[in-house]
Structure formats: structure tokens, C-alpha cells
């Protein structure tokens, strides 16, 4: 695969987002709590939005040999941020599957950020740069949300086990 070929990058990005969707859907199906299930479902829905945007760009590039990205009207991270509550953080068991899923999701989001940031920097086409920067920013927000949950879980474990040095 030619890393500089825009179509190959788009294919890689679409695959990354589809895998993210599948991962979040599986995490939702495995969640024991309704709020936790809704959180993972919302993250899965956001990955679908990414696939839709990337697929539209793929079709456009195939037909026109250019990107046609207009971020207007696309809202970043609506759903996941709304369902992230203190109650949700408390319902995710720090040593359970959901906590492991949060950790794995953080790594997945970091890979997406890296891909999108690198492609935005490497591209000379303004629309392509805008697309990948927009996606990188959206994934950074996902990572921020997941890190907040992870931080709460870590603090819960430390507190429960009296790991605090004071």
C-alpha cells in the first residue's frame, strides 16, 4: 500500500473507524449496566459518523480526484460527552471488562490521532488537511473523555486500596 496515495489513506482510515465501531459495539453488548451500555453505544455511533465522512471523501476522490470536505454542520462529540457523568464513572468496575475496554479504546483513539495528524501535516491539499485535522480533533475529544473515565477508575482503585501516600 502506498502511504502517500490518498485513496489508500482513506481506506486505512475507514477500516480504522469500522474497527472502532465494532469494538465499541462489542463493549456495549458486554456492558452490565444500562448507562455504561449507552456510553459505548454512543462512541460506536460517533465512529459511524467518521466512516460516513471518510466514505463520502473516498467517493469524491474516486470521481473528482480531489477532496471536498466542508466541516460546517458536522458537530463533534455530541453524544459521548452527554452520557459521560460521574454516575457512569462510578458504574464502570475498575478491574472489570469495561475498564479494560476503556484502556484499549484509548490506545485505539491514539492510533487514529496519530494517523490523522500525520496525514494532515503531509498533505498539500487544503481540503484534505482540513478533513484529517477535523478528524484528529474529534478523536482527541474521544481520548479526553476516555481518559477522564480512566482517571476516575484509577483514583477509585487507589482510594479503595489505600494506595494514596497521604
Distance CA 114, CA 162 (A): 36
Distance CA 68, CA 57 (A): 7
Kindly report the pTM of this predicted structure.
Answer: 0.81
* Higher-confidence position of 74 and 149: 149
* pLDDT average, residue stretch 112-122: 96
Q: Is the pLDDT of residue 88 over 80?
A: no
* pLDDT average, residue stretch 9-17: 96
Domain architecture of the chain: domains with CATH? 6-160 (1.20.1260.10)
* Higher-confidence position of 161 and 13: 13
Amino acid at each position: 500500500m502506498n502511504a502517500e496515495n490518498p485513496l489508500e489513506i482513506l481506506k486505512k482510515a475507514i477500516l480504522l473507524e469500522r474497527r472502532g465501531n465494532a469494538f465499541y459495539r462489542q463493549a456495549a453488548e458486554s456492558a452490565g449496566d444500562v448507562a455504561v451500555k449507552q456510553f459505548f453505544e454512543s462512541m460506536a455511533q460517533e465512529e459511524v459518523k467518521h466512516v460516513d465522512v471518510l466514505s463520502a471523501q473516498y467517493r469524491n476522490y474516486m470521481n473528482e480526484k480531489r477532496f471536498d470536505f466542508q466541516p460546517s454542520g458536522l458537530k463533534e462529540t455530541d453524544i459521548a460527552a452527554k452520557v459521560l457523568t460521574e454516575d457512569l464513572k462510578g458504574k464502570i468496575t475498575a478491574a472489570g471488562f469495561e475498564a479494560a475496554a476503556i484502556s484499549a479504546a484509548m490506545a485505539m483513539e491514539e492510533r487514529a490521532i496519530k494517523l490523522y495528524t500525520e496525514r494532515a501535516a503531509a498533505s498539500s491539499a487544503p481540503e484534505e488537511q482540513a478533513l484529517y485535522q477535523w478528524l484528529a480533533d474529534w478523536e482527541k475529544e474521544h481520548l479526553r473523555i476516555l481518559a477522564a473515565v480512566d482517571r476516575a477508575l484509577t483514583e477509585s482503585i487507589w482510594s479503595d486500596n489505600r494506595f494514596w501516600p497521604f
